[in-house]
A and B are shown apart, each in its own frame.
Chain A
Amino acid sequence: MNRRMIVASFSTEEDILGVTQAAHADGLKVVDVYTPYAVHGLDTAMGMKRSRLAWVCFAAGMVGAILKLWFEFWTAGVDWPVNVGGKPWNSLPAYVPVTFEVMVLSAGLVTVFVFLVISKLKPGKSPVLLAEGITNDTFVLAIEEEDATFDPVRVRKLFERFNVRSISERYGEEVS
């Protein structure tokens, strides 16, 4: 995809929060914001929706638990029933601990796996860093220059209100 972006660097959390909110309110298209740590409130300032990963986690946990419970019934009561101290084949309370552990295991592993896939993170991927020091102390805002109505001067003014450190332009880069 070929797109033009304005990339601005800031030094503090307040500035990046303020400028992102202002840019979003101004109707500018915020491509992404890059920060050295999780800045709270930045996702809502960017207009992002709530992540649905919690549902993935819930579903994975449920599937894991149900499969494991079925497996315990099947092994202990159907495939090779073994009489252990005269206990019934369907000793449900005794199946709870392992079912719980497998629920936690599948919920955790699936959630992390889905997170890595949707965030396009994978081993050995070379990172696209829009500025130096993003993983150290720099907060970066990337705005797409959408159409002819885009006014670079006004955008620069906006950045300057929030103590911008440097501004650069990028072409045709894939950011993710």
Chain B
Amino acid sequence: MADSTVVLRPPLIDGNKTFAQVTSDVCSGMEGKPTPLWWASFLTAFSFLLLGGSAIGYLVATGIGTWGANRTIGWAFDITNFVFWIGIGHAGTLISAVLYLLRQRWRTSVNRAAEAMTLFAVMCAGLFPVIHLGRPWMAYWIFPYPNTRGPLWVNFRSPLVWDAFAISTYFTISLVFWYVGLIPDLATVRDRAKEGLRKKLSGIFSLGWNGSTRTWSRYEVVYLLLAGLATPLVLSVHTIVSWDFATSVIPGWHTTIFPPYFVAGAIFSGLAMVLTLMLVARKTMRLEQYITIRHVEVMCKLIIATSGMVGLAYATEFVTALYSGNPYEQFAFLNRAFGPWGWSYGIMVSCNVIIPQLLWSKRIRTNIAIVFVISIFVNIGMWFERFVIIVTSLHRDYLPSSWADYRPTPIEIAILAGTFGLFFSCFLLFCRFLPVIAMAEVKGVLNEGREPAHGHGHAEAAGKRAGLPERVSAMEGVRG
């Protein structure tokens, strides 16, 4: 059955790893002392977190007046940041759930970190609507619970209520998905650890996992079901976020293109952030053989695709506005591109549509430094996209007498910096204390385990070692 004419696919993981090597490569990063680079990054991130924390403390103590937002521009920095962070989270779910359903096996090296990124991004995002309330200690009023005010229930027709349900469901399901994925790896950590806190904690959280196939078989079903649930969930979350805008009657917001436009933009921005983090992690954690140049290339291709979708959305909404015959709609878009905030529209289009086109070239896709810079540009561009949508639509509304300008205050900038601090502090702690790479999944895609032990001939065995497609070799293993 050996088919020597099969085109050989390059292995997903470089370096001809054995199972034990995968375990030690991933775990050794957690077991040694943290490097000076880790401490430097962590302390930097943590000081940003402290800065943001104190800014929030000042905000809560003083009031929303410390922000530059005004009666015309009621949503500005805070909601921009909210949509930005939620969008970042979406790529994590895309990689962990959607690519799982599509059987994209390269995802195994990056999914753990991408899912962690989702959690931390949603934490950052959730902060903004809460502090935007002005009285954040009453945030729980958004949930319908029996209360002494009637009971007065929430208005289930309001997109803001939908949003609260969407974000909290998204966070919970992402957390559960991430944790279920971690259980087998926590068992690996438990079995490697000597006595001590790590042994104790990994023992508690690995739930007595012992690698039983009866459990594995159900585990695979649960993982598939969670992926199937998370996929429509992630689409619904940003759809609902876009409805916060689209159900209003503001020109530039009241459009049916918003749900797909927001979802595509979210995945685009998240992919850029995954790429940024991946490139940093593979360098600092020495994971070049797990997160290979092929992974970077595939991510770049996804970025080109989503960049195209975002570009199409920009063009569509502009043309639709001009063609609509609605003077307010036409004004909103001309004002967006050529008004006083035209420069931010320029940043948005160049960072999100023009610069990513460079990735069509294979030479650029395989140049880590350039890819890193491009991913940063996309992050900036996508932040500006949300800023453009919010501020330029609001600052000149129907009544010229209420037109206003907007300038962020240092408090707002400090809070944004603080969320970056929160995000990176959490991510660095995650890299330090949990397996960054899903060991149990990577072991499943190593070619190493697929070599026929009592082979059908030398040519075939050699072919396997050179990296025969795993499906073919797995079938041989079963029938051999």
Residues of A within 8 A of B (CB): 12-15, 17-18, 21, 32-43, 45-46, 48, 51, 53-54, 57, 61, 71-72, 75-76, 79-80, 82, 84, 87, 91, 94-95, 97-98, 100-102, 104-105, 107-109, 111-112, 115-116, 118-130, 132-137, 140, 161-163, 175-176
Nearest 9 CB-CB pairings of A with B: A125-B208, A137-B19, A14-B477, A75-B153, A121-B207, A43-B217, A94-B157, A97-B162, A34-B211
Q: Is there an interface contact between B205 and A87, defined as CB atoms closer than 8 Å?
A: no
Add 12 more A-B contacts to A112-B176, A112-B180 (CB < 8 A): A38-B217, A42-B216, A53-B221, A54-B221, A104-B232, A115-B218, A120-B208, A122-B207, A122-B208, A125-B207, A140-B211, A162-B454
For the complex formed, measure the closest distance between the CB of A140 and the CB atoms of chain B, giving whole angstroms.
8
Contact assessment for A115 and B240 in the assembled complex, using a CB-CB cutoff below 8 Å: no
Shortest Cβ gap from B143 to chain A (Å):
11
Q: A38 contacts B205, CB within 8 Å? A: no
What's the Cα separation between A17 and B218 when bound, in Å? 18
Q: How far is the CA of A14 from the CA of B477 in the complex (A)?
A: 5
Given known A-B contacts A76-B157, A112-B180, A124-B203, A18 and B477 have beta carbons under 8 A apart? yes
Q: List B211-269 residues whose CB lies under 8 Å from chain A.
A: 211-222, 225-226, 229-230, 232-233, 236, 240, 243
A105-B173, A121-B208 are contacts. A135–B217 as well, Cβ < 8 Å?
no
Q: B152 contacts the other chain (Cβ, under 8 Å)?
A: yes
The minimal Cβ–Cβ distance linking B197 to chain A, given in whole angstroms, is: 14
Once the chains are docked, how many angstroms separate the CA of A87 from the CA of B191? 60
Interface flags, B434-461, vs A, CB<8A=1, else 0: 0000011101100001111110000000
- Tell me whether B211 and A35 are in contact (CB under 8 A): yes
Neighbouring B residues of A132 by C-beta, 8 Å: 191
Q: Is the CB of A95 within 8 A of B218?
A: no
Q: Which of B158, B180, B233, B449 has the most CB of A within 10 A?
A: B449
Assembly CA distance A111 to B227 (angstroms)? 12
Give complex CA distance A148, B177 in Å: 47
A124 to B176, CA, bound (A): 18
In the assembled complex, the CB of A48 is this many whole angstroms from the nearest CB of chain B, namely 6
With the chains together, A45 CA to B214 CA distance in Å? Answer: 12
A selection of 6 A-B contacts at a CB cut-off of 8 Å is: A18-B477, A39-B213, A101-B166, A119-B215, A126-B203, A130-B210
- Complex contacts, A39 vs chain B, CB 8 Å: 213, 216, 444
B225 to chain A, nearest CB (A): 5
Give, as a whole number of angstroms, the nearest-CB distance from B20 to chain A: 4
Are A79 and B240 in contact, with the CB atoms below 8 A?
no
The SS class assigned to the B binding surface is helix
Given A111-B226, A123-B205, A17 contacting B151 (CB threshold 8 A): no
CB contacts (< 8 Å) of B421 on chain A: these are none
Chain A min CB distance to B13 (Å): 13
- A105 and B233 CA atoms in complex are apart in Å by 9
Residues on B with C-beta less than 8 A from A130 are: 210
Asked if A121 meets B440 with Cβ closer than 8 Å, knowing A40-B474, A134-B211, the reply is: no
Q: B16 contacts the other chain (Cβ, under 8 Å)?
A: no
B155 adjacent to chain A (CB < 8 Å): yes
Report chain A residues within 8 Å CB of B477: 13-14, 17-18
Interface membership of B150, Cβ < 8 A: yes
List the B side residues contacting A36 at CB < 8 Å. 19, 184, 188, 211, 440, 443
B144 touches A71 (CB 8 A): yes
Q: Which residue of B lies closest to A100 (CB)?
A: B236
CB atoms of A127 and B218 under 8 A apart: no
Q: What residues of A have a CB within 8 angstroms of the CB of B478 in the complex? A: 17-18, 21, 41, 45
CA A75 to CA B146, docked complex, whole Å: 11
